[in-house]
């Protein structure tokens, strides 16, 4: 199942009991501060495709774009 939303489509973690001082910096820094024990979505979503492949709309040539992960998504090993 989805880690953020229940079967009814409502957020699982939305009440005041899930907000504490550790998470207050997320909005202030644009989502780049990592909480020590984050729940997915604590600092917003970072949607990223490592690789995208699609046919060109007029030539049908296969276009492939590969990108590294943005820094907020990298682990210490990356």
pTM of the predicted protein model: 0.37
pLDDT per position as a tens digit, 12-26: 766 666 655 554 545
Please give the Cα distance from 68 to 71 (Å, whole number).
9
Per-domain boundaries in the chain: 16-73
Collapsed DSSP state (helix, strand, coil) of residue 5 = strand
pLDDT per position as a tens digit, 30-71: 555 555 665 665 556 666 788 999 999 999 999 999 988 777
Give one DSSP letter per residue of 7-74, joined into a string: TTSSBSS-SGGG--GGGHHHHHTTT-SPPSSPPTTBTB-----SEEEEE-TTT-PEEEEE-PPPGGG-
């Amino acid at each position: 199942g989805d880690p953020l939303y229940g079967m009814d489509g409502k957020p699982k973690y939305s009440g005041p009991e899930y907000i504490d001082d550790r998470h207050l910096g997320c909005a202030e820094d644009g989502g780049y501060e990592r909480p020590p024990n984050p729940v997915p979505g604590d600092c917003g979503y970072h949607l990223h495709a490592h690789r995208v492949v699609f046919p060109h709309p007029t030539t049908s040539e296969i276009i492939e774009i590969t990108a590294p992960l943005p820094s907020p998504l990298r682990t210490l090993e990356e």
